A and B are shown apart, each in its own frame.
Chain A
Amino acid sequence: MGYTGNVLRIDLTTGRARVEELRRDWARQYLGGKGLGIKYLYEELAPGTGPLAPENKIILATGPFTGTPVPCSGKLAVITRSPANGAILDCSIGGNMAAEIKFAGYDLVIIEGRAERPVLLRIADRQVSLEPADDLWGRGTHETELLLRERLGAGYKIMSIGPAGENLVPFACITSELYRQAGRGGVGAVWGAKNLKALAVQGTGSVQVADMSGLLQVAQQALREDLLTDTNLWAYTDGTPMLVEMSNNTGILPTRNFQAGCFEGFDGLKSDTMKQYRQGKRACFACGLGCGNYTVVARGRVEGPEYETLALAGSNCGIASLEAVVRFNVLCDDLGLDTISTGNVMAFAMELAQRGIKDFGLRFGDEAGYLDMPALIARREGVGQELARGVKALAEQYGGREFAMQVKGLEFPGYEPRGSWAMGLAYATAPRGACHMSAWPVAEEAYGERDPFSIEGKARLVIDLQHYNAAKFSLILCDFWALSFERMAELLEPVLGWKPGAGDLEKCGERIFNLARLFNLREGIDGSQDTLPARIFKQPLQGGATDGRLLPEESFTAMLSEYYQLRGWSAAGVPLPEKLVELEL
């Protein structure tokens, strides 16, 4: 119960599709979503498979809560090997696609091979077809989706890539339902390499649970007691833009390529400003919160901008105009670019110019150049050919490695580690590179009561959060619901027909995190890459609450060493045999 028991596998090379039985033993150990997707990829992908090779796989994974009334269970996990860095990559995307896949009768959809020509993969319950998509190739995601809605009817949920994915930009994303993205690590480029332009799914089935009446009771109780409370409702009243003011006040708002932690123009980007342009709220399937801000500014329509976009494409580029950020956001969504990495690339290029190292025509605060660049990057035209390679590759060619804000080739999210030291450890150790979804200790440190400039207890904090998020994103539940392992177990009981212990769920999280580590080690991504750019260790921040602050390298090293030890990993960051036995790996 809770699972359909079916995995749909599609080979784009041969055009064949088949339904396989779900490995229920794996589902029990890895839950679903992120964890189950990583398990399948680890078992099926031959070591050394190129991320853009036909043999790489795209796994779309639902979880046991998908399609049920469990609140905040609308997300879909997308798992593949990342073209940004060769690491394991899992993204999640909101909206309704996950439920639609489950209603079509599948827990997982595994896409492999490469189509000869651009294709649309169409799934209508048990009917699976590959249809020509030559006419869609080159079009933006908005136009693609609107054309497909017209062609197929409104009953389909659609995901598609834009020109960035088609042109294999290593930070290309996937868009669904016009405004939602699986953003990070270049998952859109894997679609492009497979000539997969779009996916359309229609499901008319249902999801079976062990005890529907019990589930409704527990779900309502959870809604009342710990979802629709002041602790979570900020996601509805404001959503992530509220973090702009919080980050600016605590000195962790990335500004001008992480040269400062506060921005003199933050007023233009904060939540109160956003609310002036907000037209309504949007929610994912089964969501009780509705964090999406449908915003219209100067004819630009977007569900957002989210904090990450406001930070990386706003303050980090020296842009104080909400209108400019919205236009940038709309462009990136339509072209299929991740706003976090794109914002970082722009900011890095701006600093190269500031320091006289290389001039790509971009300057901090210059809106015109900033708004011209996404199209050039996505289409790999002009200087866009260079910028489309990402921050790490640019630094290797032109210099500026010390201020190339990336880990393992993935650009930084919007939280300054010099003002939140555990966040630095989280960036350094996250499997996919600099990532805020693996652990988010900012809430306890910069925004909370823990000393953000101390290493005490931080290794344990990051480990606990990494396990928590790994379990939560495998069930799959939304990041914005701060629920306990006990509540997760209570919700699982009427779904599965048996109740896992809260400790068992935490252990699942640890197992999933360690398996991701094993995947990376197998691909040669080892402990030597668990580090941060030199800027974080050596260059003090300027201004605000974090003026003069560093994360000293010796403090970081001590934190990392404690982290490895607590994890049961060697000094080189390799899980020890006894840990693998303990986790049944």
Chain B
Amino acid sequence: MNKEPVRDTGVPETVQVELRGPLARYAGTGSTNGRIALPAGKGVRAEDILLMLNIPPARVGLMVANGNKICRKDLLQPGDVLVIFPPVAGG
């Protein structure tokens, strides 16, 4: 994504990840509501974020970064917000 990285603090540059539904537990016990910040360095692929969180690929459905649907290979920049939904059935 093309958003400017956050550079104004000493805090590590991160991607903000929001895990929806049952995926929230992959954020770990320290998080609330499935929200967690992950280091992004100079950019990180969505699939790498899944690996960092140990989320099996089959458990992942729609991924949205800054309001736009993305693919697993897409690169995220520090400051981006990634929302990950589980697969869904029914409607």
Contact = CB atoms under 8 A, between A and B. Distances in A.
Interface of A: 229-238, 240, 242-243, 245-246, 249-250, 271-272, 307-308, 413-415, 436-437, 440, 442-443, 447-449, 478-482, 545
Of A229, A231, A449, the most chain B CB neighbours within 10 A belong to: A231
A237 B88 contact: no
B10 interface: no
Contacts of A437: 91
Contact of B86 (A234, A413, A440, A478): A234
Contact of A230 (B23, B64, B83): B23
A272 B83 CA distance: 13
A60 to B, nearest CB: 22
B79 to A, nearest CB: 18
Contact of B90 (A250, A415, A448, A479): A479
B21 A272 contact: no
A400 to B, nearest CB: 27
B69 interface: yes
Given A240-B91, A415-B91, A449-B71, 6 more contacts: A231-B59, A234-B21, A236-B22, A436-B91, A447-B61, A478-B90
11 contacts: A230-B23, A231-B86, A232-B89, A234-B21, A234-B88, A236-B22, A243-B88, A243-B91, A271-B20, A414-B91, A442-B91
A233 B22 contact: yes
A445 to B, nearest CB: 11
B24 interface: yes
Nearest to B23: A230
Of A243, A249, A442, A480, the most chain B CB neighbours within 10 A belong to: A249
A271 B49 CA distance: 24
Given A233-B21, A234-B21, A238-B20, A249 B90 contact: no
B20 A448 contact: no
A234 B22 contact: yes
B19 to A, nearest CB: 10
Contacts of B87: 231, 443, 448, 482
A448 B91 contact: no
A440 B90 contact: yes
Contacts of A414: 91
Interface residues of B, number: 23
A546 to B, nearest CB: 11
B22 A443 contact: no
Interface string B51-69: 0000000110110100111
Contacts of A229: 59
A281 to B, nearest CB: 14
Given A233-B22, A249-B62, A443 B86 contact: no
A133 B36 CA distance: 57
Contacts of A237: 21-22, 24
Contacts of B33: 272
B86 to A, nearest CB: 5
Of B21, B23, B88, the most chain A CB neighbours within 10 A belong to: B88
Contact of A481 (B68, B71, B89): B89
Contacts of A447: 61-62, 85, 88
A249 B67 contact: yes
Contacts of A246: 62, 85, 88
A442 B21 CA distance: 18
Of B59, B85, B89, the most chain A CB neighbours within 10 A belong to: B89
A237 B85 CA distance: 12
A413 B90 CA distance: 13
Nearest to B60: A230
Contact of B68 (A232, A480, A482, A545): A545
A480 B88 CA distance: 8
A267 to B, nearest CB: 12
B45 to A, nearest CB: 16
B89 A479 contact: yes
Contacts of A272: 33
